[in-house]
Amino acid sequence: MLCDIIRTAAAEHVDIEIVAQVEEGDSIVAAVGEFRADAVVIGLPKGAPVERASEELFAAHPRTKVLGVADAGRRVVLCELQPETTTLGELSPEGLVEAIRDAVRPTLS
């Protein structure tokens, strides 16, 4: 039923394409690799955290976003792991202090 809801909702939007449906027992990791999916929607068993369900996927495809649908489709959780490296160039002591501030500023608010 969840698959039908997702397919119906996606069909109305030309910028969303469903490239595969993985049956229970099939490898989500292999499907993401084969189809180079940007996002994966998974149904979560009752009480299962999306982080646990997506550990293997993130190990192989860290930029893939995972939407975990729980509570019989009443709740959705987004989980993403996007390691990102930013080159800061030549660094002075003042530049280092500013880089530290910039790195933690979002968490200070």
The per-residue pLDDT for range 86-104, each reduced to its tens digit, is 666 677 777 777 777 777 7
Instruction: Determine, yes or no, domain membership for 50.
Output: yes
- Cα-Cα-Cα-Cα torsion 72, 73, 77, 79, nearest 10 degrees, comes to 90
> What domain range is 9 assigned to?
2-82
Instruction: Determine, yes or no, domain membership for 106.
Output: no
Instruction: Determine, yes or no, domain membership for 67.
Output: yes
Instruction: Determine, yes or no, domain membership for 108.
Output: no
- For 37-79, write each residue's pLDDT tens digit: 888 888 877 777 777 777 888 889 888 888 888 777 777 888 8
Instruction: Determine, yes or no, domain membership for 15.
Output: yes
pLDDT of residue 86: 67
Query: Is the full-model pTM beyond 0.85?
Result: no
Structurally, the chain folds into a number of domains equal to 1
| Side chain identity at residue 95, one-letter code | G
Q: 66 has which bridge partners?
A: 40, 79
Phi, psi (degrees; rounded to nearest 5) at 12: -85, -5
| Alpha-carbon dihedral sign for residues 85, 87, 93, 96 | negative
Instruction: Determine, yes or no, domain membership for 99.
Output: no
The helix (H) or strand (E) run that includes residue 29 is: helix 28-35
For residues 33 and 74, what is the distance between their CA atoms, to the nearest angstrom?
29
Instruction: Determine, yes or no, domain membership for 17.
Output: yes
